[in-house]
Amino acid sequence: PLRKWYHLEDFITMRHIHNAEKLMLATGLIDFYGYIMEAFFGWYAGGYEWFMIKNRAMGPYAVFYWSLIMCNGLIPQFLWSKRVRENLIVLWLISMVVNVGMWLERFIIVVTSLHRDYLPSSWGMFQPTIWDLMTFFGTIGLFVTFIFVFLRLLPMISIFEVRTLLPQSHVTEETTTTVPEPSPAAGD
């Protein structure tokens, strides 16, 4: 949306967006491969590692785990379709889903590692406190504030990139506007 709001279509071209699509698809494939290998090595190791993988996939936080797999592994696979790659709104939605998936990955790493501790007496479900929620929403608010300050104070496109694009802009004397000089008044 920032590309449209700030009229940056001439600077952030579809070539840049297509390169970002390819990067997101490649990263999604690597991430998905990592999840498959994590499950395989957990099964291969057996014992505690396999218990941890089964706990993530079928335990009380299984919904978050499978949502993570969907957001980071399966949704980016839609980028194989040319129709999806050409629609900027769908691309933005896919990138937001991947962001949610990355947050879910951190949530799964922290919460599933802590809710089944070494002692069964300390096992329990995670219940966020008011401080957890305030920290979560505060970091989102701080991030959004910093983004808006960044957009307001710093240039969107670096001067170096503008210099490299200037020869390609085909600026000639005919395209530049000149201000006519005032004519001398009669009798001067």
Model confidence at 58, in pLDDT bands (50, 70, 90)? very high
Q: Give the pLDDT score at 139.
A: 92
CA–CA dist 144, 12 (Å, integer):
22
Give the mean pLDDT of 175-179: 54
Model confidence at 100, in pLDDT bands (50, 70, 90)? very high
Give the mean pLDDT of 93-119: 89
- Could you report the per-residue pLDDT of 40-50, keeping only the tens digit for each? 999 999 888 89
Give the mean pLDDT of 107-123: 82
Contact 22/16 with Cβ under 8 angstroms?
no
Which is nearest to 126 in space by CA: 135, 115, 136?
115
CA–CA dist 3, 114 (Å, integer):
41
Q: How many CA atoms lie within 13 A of 71 on its CB side?
A: 18
Structure tokens at 133: 């929620």
Model confidence at 112, in pLDDT bands (50, 70, 90)? confident
Helix axes 62-69, 88-115, angle to 10 degrees: 140
Determine what percent of the chain is predicted with pLDDT higher than 90: 48
Model confidence at 147, in pLDDT bands (50, 70, 90)? confident
**pTM score over 0.75:** no
- Per the prediction, the chain carries an average pLDDT of 84
Contact 43/50 with Cβ under 8 angstroms?
yes
Model confidence at 178, in pLDDT bands (50, 70, 90)? low
Q: How many CA atoms lie within 13 A of 30 on its CB side?
A: 6
